[in-house]
Copies of this chain bind each other. A is one copy, B any other.
């Protein structure tokens, strides 16, 4: 029986976990990063937190998440999905806040020249400081979802540009999953899935045989997220 008895003292917020691939400063190999914003008031003043804000009364949940993403990084998501609604009673000191959290993927190139200010900074997902509220848990869960979904879906290309080599795509999987994959088997699996189509172009410049460039097959749904999202 919704739409009656509005409950006082419950605030509804929308936050977004934004993932991108960036080279690690030390090794140079790509890893998963995400932008955080510094809190400029209590509670948790000074701590880093997920970008987000209250839900505007005329915007959908997903729109709110995309807006948040644009406001903090100036980026447009290549993939955007609802993660979970967090509503524990004590998750925000002194207030009752329910956060509906989304997670997003943005391309590495766009992420490279995303806005960075005093109060917005990128962090390595596997090496975060203590965050505000329950945001460490939230990021941990989002990472779990990303890794899971990468294995049974076709979302990896969201980290890449328009065209890419199979080594690029494999690099995304290796960076996210944190383990090496067999190039031969990876190639066959990707080709069999039909998620990519070969172009006529080759990528030269490496001191080795040039690699064919591929494009994502837009005919395909990247994920089967059920009837709500069917095309």
A residues whose Cβ falls under 8 Å from a Cβ of B: 1-13, 15, 37, 39, 41, 43, 49, 51-61, 82, 84-85, 87-89, 92, 94-100, 133, 137, 140-141, 144-145, 148, 226-228
Contacts and interface: CB of A to CB of B under 8 A. Distances in A.
Contacts of A61: 85, 87-88, 98
Contacts of A37: 1
- Copies of this chain per assembly: 2
B92 A3 contact: yes
A57 B10 contact: yes
A140 B39 contact: no
A54 B11 contact: no
Contacts of A41: 4
A55 B140 CA distance: 26
B12 A12 contact: yes
Contact of A133 (B2, B97, B140): B2
Given A4-B41, A49-B1, A89-B59, A228 B12 contact: no
